Amino acid sequence: MAKRPELCPVETTARIVGGRWKAAVLEQLFQSTKRFSELKRAITGITQRTLSQQLRDLQSTGIVERTVCADTPPRVVYAITPLGRSLRPLLETMCHWGKSHSAAMALKKLRASDRVR
């Protein structure tokens, strides 16, 4: 059986926080512990299925914690773990980079589309 090559640390991080919705889920959980329905309302455009999958993915990597409260009826809440909190500076830096370079990237796209015509 062939040995799988080790991932570089950047690829590992990208797999954990990559994708369209994970940053939005994390941003909500950085604010406070939330129930599933609160997350669904707060993240415009995400489907129930996608939110469930994103939460499962983040749980499996130890970024998010799911707690079932013994209320009647049972209540489930999601919270960021200390490991997940350690991602906050990284995501803030990525956000800053995106904001500061979005104009240049948009201009480059516009120039490229002008060349195609």
What pTM value is reported for the model? Answer: 0.80
What is the number of domains present in the chain?
1
Q: Which amino acid is at 16?
A: I
Q: Contact at 8 Å (CB) between 29 and 64?
A: yes
Closest by Cα among 67, 65, 63 to 84: 63
Q: Does 39 fall in a domain?
A: yes
CATH number at residue 107: 1.10.10.10
- Asked if residue 3 belongs to a domain, the reply is no
Tens-digit pLDDT profile for residues 2-44: 677 777 889 989 988 988 999 999 999 999 999 999 999 999 9
User: Which range has the worst mean pLDDT, 51-55, 69-73, 106-110?
Assistant: 106-110
Identify whether 96 is part of a domain.
yes
Residue 1 has pLDDT above 70, yes or no: no
Range(s) of the domain holding residue 52: 9-116
